[in-house]
Structure 1
Amino acid sequence: MIPPIANRFVAGESPAEALDHVRTVNQRNVNVIVNLLGEHYDDRAPASDDAAEYRSLVEDIANADLDACISVKPSQLGLDLGEDVFREELEGIVATAADRGVFVWIDMEDHTTTDATLDAYEELAREYYGGEDSDDSQSSSDPWADGGVGVCVQANLKRTREDVERLADVPGKVRFVKGAYDEPADVAYTDTQRVNEEYEALLEYAFEHFEDGVAVGSHDPAMIERAIELHEEYGTGFEVQMLMGVREDAQYDLAEEHEVWQYVPYGGRWKSYFYRRVMERKENLWFALRAIVGR
């Protein structure tokens, strides 16, 4: 059982607890991206087990008719064991999700996994959503009503501008984040202001050149406001994505006018994730301290 100190950031240890959270948040007009915690497996068995749980989760989401999708990590699906393992496990999930009309996000990890992640995303997006049937669904009022696939890109990586140009015509969504990994200076921008400038430039390119599917993965009010301005200028469809437990009041307020998705992790491997959330922002640390002293 997850203690109260951690349940602000993690929905529970079981799929049922995660889906209960989805129902609660959906009532506030916020959609949910569900993530089973786990990464960097050095054995095939846990990777296959997590892939099987994701397929089951897809079925549960579809059967319950929830406003939810899933997000997976490449190293969780065996990328450390080989790109072939990752591709096999990921395609099994995407195939199930495509059949059930549930969207699949592919998270981005450190820079060493970028090529494998983008290659898998592009291949599966074109295979499952690039044909005539997919084109028909794209013309509906909800272009993602029949599911879809998306990938995350990180503004701190120097390569990302070229990556985004490559992804502009891929039939999927792209989530833009600033980047959470401590990358070496030869591949990444390390100055905060420089990363912010790059993030804004990437948003500007995406809103101008993408037909749809821009996801603003940020808690930064300035970047969210810039995205709204760009949407009004270009008319490109977009959504805002934020983490469970972070600026939730802002999420609910924003959802009154725009599409908002909350990234919700669950599972038994919650301790390291909770530690990262507490340490990354002063406000989260104070929340944890108040919970410890019972105030």
Structure 2
Amino acid sequence: MIPPIANRFVASETSAVALEHVRQLNDRNVAGILNLLGEHYETRPPVRADAAEYRALIRDIARSDLEATISVKPSQFGLDLGGDVFRETLADVVGVAADHGVFVWIDMEDHTTTDATLDAFEALAREHWGGERSASGHGANGAAGGIGVCVQANLRRTREDVERLADVPGKVRFVKGAYDEPADVAYQDADRIDREYRNLLEYAFNHYDDGIAVGSHDPEMIDYAIDRHEEHGTDFEIQMLMGVREDAQTDLAGEYPVYQYVPYGNRWKSYFYRRMTERTENIRFALRAIFGR
């Protein structure tokens, strides 16, 4: 059972309760991004188990009337065991999602995983959704749903990656980056990272056709994206974590598409610890959840 301090950030240990959380979000006009917690597996059994859980989750979403997508991690799908394991597992889950019309996000992990993650994203996007989309949102081969990937503004390489992805038939989620990366591959100064984030959004709103996701709790970055949307008319959505600025999520959902990242599963302790150590603001949110302030 997840204790009260943690259940602000983690929906449940089970998919059934996590789906009910998404239903409650939908009542507030907020969509859900469901993530089964798990990462950095060193053996095949947990990779297979999580892939099976995701396939079942996709079918549950497809049978429901929920506004929900899924999000997976490369190391959860066996990247630490080899690129072939990751690609095979991801392709299997994405194929099921395409058949059922469910969108799949691929999370980004540390910089050593970037090439493998982007290569897999591009290959699957072109396989299932290559060519022009129809008005129904189906790809050239009839596949519904869609696929997206995350890029991190703190990485020095990201501008080139974003330019590469401009013609890939999928969405891109822009985040600042939460991993402690070395200085030779990542910017260390917060102001520089903010500047890069704005520059990346400016480029994307000018060059992307398949949608942009703004993964940020920073009001300045969200306002910047809204301004770019109003200027260029490019489709975009706002993505925030469960348990962080939830009032703002509801307020923004009155005018723009908003998605909440909803983690669940029995591996919640390490995820909750990261949320607590990432930002002092998260600690304040947790304390308010306990003391009601």
Q: Please state which band the TM-score falls in when normalised by the shorter chain.
A: over 0.9
AA aligned to 2:166 is A
Q: Does 1:281 align with 2:279?
A: yes
2:87 maps to 87
- Contact 2:138–2:145 under 8 Å retained in 1: no
CA drift at 1:238: 0.2
1:236 maps to 234
CA drift at 1:49: 0.5
Q: Does 1:32 align with 2:29?
A: no
CA drift at 1:131: 3.9
CA drift at 1:228: 0.6
Q: Which runs of 5+ in 2 are unaligned?
A: none
- Kindly, what percent of the aligned residue pairs are identical? 73
Q: Which runs of 5+ in 1 are unaligned?
A: none
2:263 maps to 265
Q: Does 1:12 align with 2:12?
A: yes
The more displaced of 155-164 and 285-294 is 285-294
AA aligned to 2:36 is L
Find the aligned partners of 1:62 and 1:86 in 2 and give their Cα distance: 24
Find the aligned partners of 2:263 and 2:91 in 1 and give their Cα distance: 21
AA aligned to 1:81 is L
- Contact 2:98–2:144 under 8 Å retained in 1: yes
CA drift at 1:88: 0.7
Q: Does 1:255 align with 2:243?
A: no
1:158 maps to 156
TM-score using structure 2 length: 0.95
2:45 maps to 45
Q: After superposition, what is the alpha-carbon deviation per residue over 1:14-44, rounded to whole angstroms, capped at 9, x for unaligned?
A: 0001101000000000000000000000001
AA aligned to 1:129 is W
1:149 maps to 147
Equivalences for 1:205-216 in 2 at 5 Å?
205-216=203-214
Equivalences for 1:132-143 in 2 at 5 Å?
134-135=133-134, 137-138=136-137
AA aligned to 1:39 is E
Q: Does 1:169 align with 2:167?
A: yes
Find the aligned partners of 1:61 and 1:72 in 2 and give their Cα distance: 15
Q: After superposition, what is the alpha-carbon deviation per residue over 1:248-272, rounded to whole angstroms, capped at 9, x for unaligned?
A: 0000000000000000000000011
1:109 maps to 109
AA aligned to 1:154 is Q
1:221 maps to 219
CA drift at 1:286: 3.0
Backbone CA RMSD of aligned residues: 1.7
TM-score using structure 1 length: 0.95
CA drift at 1:5: 1.2
Find the aligned partners of 2:251 and 2:138 in 1 and give their Cα distance: 29
Find the aligned partners of 1:264 and 1:90 in 2 and give their Cα distance: 20
Find the aligned partners of 1:150 and 1:23 in 2 and give their Cα distance: 22
Q: After superposition, what is the alpha-carbon deviation per residue over 1:228-256, rounded to whole angstroms, capped at 9, x for unaligned?
A: 11011111000000000000000000000
AA aligned to 1:221 is P
Judged with a 3 Å threshold, the aligned counterparts in structure 2 of structure 1 residues 290 and 26 are, in CA distance, closer, same or farther, namely closer
Find the aligned partners of 2:228 and 2:286 in 1 and give their Cα distance: 36
AA aligned to 2:265 is G
- Contact 2:126–2:169 under 8 Å retained in 1: yes
Find the aligned partners of 1:281 and 1:179 in 2 and give their Cα distance: 13
AA aligned to 1:217 is G
Q: After superposition, what is the alpha-carbon deviation per residue over 1:71-128, rounded to whole angstroms, capped at 9, x for unaligned?
A: 0000000000000000111011100000000000000000000000000000000000
- Contact 2:244–2:285 under 8 Å retained in 1: no
Alignment: residue pair count: 290
AA aligned to 1:128 is H
CA drift at 1:211: 1.3
